[in-house]
Amino acid sequence: MLSRVAAQLYWLSRYLERAENMARILEVGQSFALVSTSDTSRADPETVKEPLVITDTLAAFEATGRPMRSDQVAQFLAWDPDHPSSIFNCIQSCRENARSVRGALTVEMWECINDTWLELVARKKKNKGANHAVDSSFFEWIKQRSHLFRGVTFATIQRDQPYNFIRLGTYLERADNTARILSVKTRVEQAEGKDMVDDYYRLGAVLRSVSALEAYRDTYRDSIDADRVSELLIFNARVPRSLLFCLDETAYILDQLPQQTGREARKRCSHLLTHLRFGTLQEVYERGLETYLEAFVQENIHLAEAVQKDYLEMLA
């Protein structure tokens, strides 16, 4: 398989997953701002900043000169044409990659991505002013389109290398998102001097942002507890957005790819996976939860760089 084709399949899935993750972050951020105060323009500054800190775009937002308000943060992360990871630009990049490798996709997969892009453009034209829709219905639509593409992919494409590279991009992007959300929520709580155990709404926001609230209730059947939230999202192998689940899937996919290459990627993945499979929450807390998660994010970035070097930059 050509490395160029593999790279475009890998990145189209990463961009789509990133758009969905951005919608999740913004949706939960807005809902929590409403819980904190009925006037979102007077929301707590740290709460307003959370989506920017999670996505590591605080400096980029401040450079735009926009006021630090929830609506402006949402506009920046959803629609800003100069922000490479805005929802709009992610969907555009996903579609451009898909168009370049249409021969590696099924008709249904291409139509799903193309229809998503066309409707997004239509939504933008409908709101011709500076502000575009950034409400819960928009975020829900983005999530549904991402779910639809994954469902269509699962139902129509052969289980060979294109399928594996699409899934690989999804799980590497998803693991990064989960770790960032959990890390930043912890950091904010520490900065505010609050106890996460008693902060039901923030913990609920963490779980909702990764679609794990029902999984938490099914697993623990008790009130939301900070330790259990961390345990669920780090070590639970059955939760689709937990760190262990994502790395399990990544390791499996790497085993399906050509074994004569990818040594560095498989080594880094095995290292991360070993710590997740055999680690404990006590060990995490001894190191510091924030420190542990930030180290995971960096290791996951190095893993993605190894995948890029081992598989996606090779000569055909």
Q: What is the pLDDT of residue 196?
A: 44
Same domain, 226 and 96: no
Residues 6+ apart with CB under 8 A from 93: 11, 12, 15
CA distance 177 to 210: 9
Note whether 42 and 62 are same-domain residues.
yes
Whether residues 59 and 181 fall in one domain: no
Q: Domain check: are 10 and 134 in the same one?
A: yes
Predicted local distance difference test score (pLDDT) of residue 197:
43
Last residue of a domain, one of 116, 131, 157: 157
Number of domains in the chain: 2
Structural domain boundaries, residue 189: 159-316
Low-confidence stretches of the chain (pLDDT beneath 50)? 40, 195-198, 315-316
Same domain, 223 and 127: no
Q: What is the pLDDT of residues 51-64, one digit of tens each?
A: 998 899 999 999 99
Q: How far apart are CA 206 and CA 192, in angstroms?
A: 17
Same domain, yes or no: 173 and 314: yes
Residue showing tokens 């939301």: 224
| Residues 175-205: tens digit of each pLDDT | 999 999 998 766 555 555 554 444 677 788 8
The continuous run of DSSP H or E covering 102 comes out as: none
CB 307 within 8 A of CB 164: no
Do both 208 and 257 map to the same domain? yes
C-alpha dihedral (239, 242, 244, 245), degrees to nearest 10: 50
Give the CB-side neighbour count of residue 141, counting CA atoms within 13 A: 16
**Residue type for 49, please?**
K
Residues 143, 217, single domain; the answer is no
pLDDT for 315 equals 40
Q: Say if residue 94 is in the same domain as residue 36.
A: yes
What are the CA-CA distances from residue 121 to residues 17, 79, 116, 140, 300 (Å)?
19, 11, 9, 17, 33
Q: Do 166 and 315 lie in a common domain?
A: yes
pLDDT score recorded for residue 118: 97
Contacts of 88 (CB under 8 A, 6+ apart): 78, 79, 80, 81, 120, 124
The residue out of 157, 180, 197 marking a domain boundary is 157
pLDDT given at position 267: 96
Where is 131: in which H helix or E strand? none
- Tell which residue, 254, 256, 289, has the closest CA to residue 271: 254
Classify residue 40 by its DSSP letter.
Answer: G
187 and 316 both lie in a single domain: yes
71 and 163: one domain? no
Domain boundary residue, one of 157, 177, 211: 157
